[in-house]
């Protein structure tokens, strides 16, 4: 059993979803982002700048895990680690699949997430407070990655072939941030079909329910 540090309303959801898919038990230590707390709350709640958490992750970000003495940070690296360690249908089956899973995970982190996070954060703001220029720029920057992914999914239901894997989970979690920009998905129907299938999985639905029940 590993220990997950973080809250579901963060990138920790990626690890929780994977654990649910794979049937992995874990101990959950809620660590909230410091910016969500005022100074009074920060004195009583474990957060990303708490000394106890900084002893686990000196970067001061969530999520982190501790697994049999191994401490890991970075959500996408953690999901790859857990999939490889425990095996099963979500894990890469051979070196080819391992390379593809790593490639798509890094692709999501470098080509997509810098822009999808802008779409997410700007759409959380009241319209009067949004930086519309930054939002438009992010959406435009995502058109090429969406087209690339759409082409990769043209003749395949999943990124590694005929089954859902950690590669799909990682990329889906990054692209989820762009759902407030429906035009991107309208222009990439294979991506929309694929993301809908990811989000129809029982493990995702169960994890989202826990996330939604968590305080903002």
pLDDT tens-digit series, residues 45-65:
999 999 999 999 999 999 999
Half-sphere exposure of 170 (CA within 13 A, CB side): 29
Average pLDDT over residues 105-118: 98
Q: Whole domain around residue 50: which residue ranges?
A: 2-89
Share of the chain above pLDDT 70, in %: 100
The answer to whether position 216 is within a domain reads: no
Task: Say if residue 121 is in the same domain as residue 30.
Answer: no
The answer to whether position 63 is within a domain reads: yes
Task: Say if residue 191 is in the same domain as residue 110.
Answer: yes
CB crowding 60-84: b at 16 or more within 10 Å, else e: ebbbbbebeeeebbbbbebbbbbbe
Task: Say if residue 62 is in the same domain as residue 36.
Answer: yes
pLDDT category at 13 given cuts 50, 70, 90 is very high
Task: Say if residue 55 is in the same domain as residue 109.
Answer: no
Tokens read off for 16? 């929780």
Task: Say if residue 80 is in the same domain as residue 100.
Answer: no
The answer to whether position 214 is within a domain reads: no
pLDDT tens digits along 16-49: 999 999 999 999 999 999 999 999 999 999 999 9
Task: Say if residue 26 is in the same domain as residue 123.
Answer: no
pLDDT for the residue numbered 215 = 85
CATH number at residue 72: 3.40.30.10
pLDDT tens digits along 178-202: 999 999 999 999 999 999 999 999 9
The answer to whether position 181 is within a domain reads: yes
Structural domains counted in the chain: 2
Task: Say if residue 63 is in the same domain as residue 111.
Answer: no
Task: Say if residue 14 is in the same domain as residue 52.
Answer: yes
Task: Say if residue 82 is in the same domain as residue 99.
Answer: no
pLDDT for the residue numbered 216 = 77
CATH number at residue 123: 1.20.1050.10
Whole-Å CA distances, 83 to 70, 91, 124, 142, 202:
15, 5, 32, 28, 18
pLDDT for the residue numbered 137 = 98
Among 38, 57, 89, which residue terminates a domain?
A: 89
Among 42, 73, 89, which residue terminates a domain?
A: 89
Among 89, 109, 129, which residue terminates a domain?
A: 89
Task: Say if residue 12 is in the same domain as residue 34.
Answer: yes
Q: Contact 84/23 with Cβ under 8 angstroms?
A: no
Average pLDDT over residues 113-137: 97
């Amino acid at each position: 059993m590993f220990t997950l540090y973080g809250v579901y309303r963060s990138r920790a959801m990626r690890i929780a979803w994977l654990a649910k898919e794979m049937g992995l038990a874990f101990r959950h230590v809620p660590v909230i982002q410091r910016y969500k707390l005022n100074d009074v709350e920060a004195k009583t709640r474990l957060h990303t700048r708490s000394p106890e958490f900084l002893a686990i992750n000196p970067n001061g970000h969530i999520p982190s895990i501790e697994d049999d003495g191994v401490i890991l940070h970075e959500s996408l690296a953690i999901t790859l680690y857990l999939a490889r360690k425990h095996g099963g249908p979500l894990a890469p089956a051979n070196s080819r699949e391992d390379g593809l899973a790593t490639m798509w995970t890094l692709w999501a982190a470098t080509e997509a997430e810098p822009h999808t996070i802008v779409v997410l954060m700007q759409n959380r703001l009241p319209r009067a407070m949004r930086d519309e220029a930054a939002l438009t720029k992010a959406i435009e920057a995502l058109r090429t990655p969406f087209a690339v992914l759409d082409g990769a999914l043209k003749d395949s239901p999943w990124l590694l072939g005929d089954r859902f894997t950690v590669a799909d989970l990682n990329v889906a979690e990054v692209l989820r941030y762009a759902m407030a920009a429906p035009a991107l998905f309208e222009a990439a129907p294979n991506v929309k079909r694929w993301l809908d299938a990811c989000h129809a999985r029982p493990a995702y639905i169960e994890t989202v329910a826990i996330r939604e029940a968590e305080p903002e």
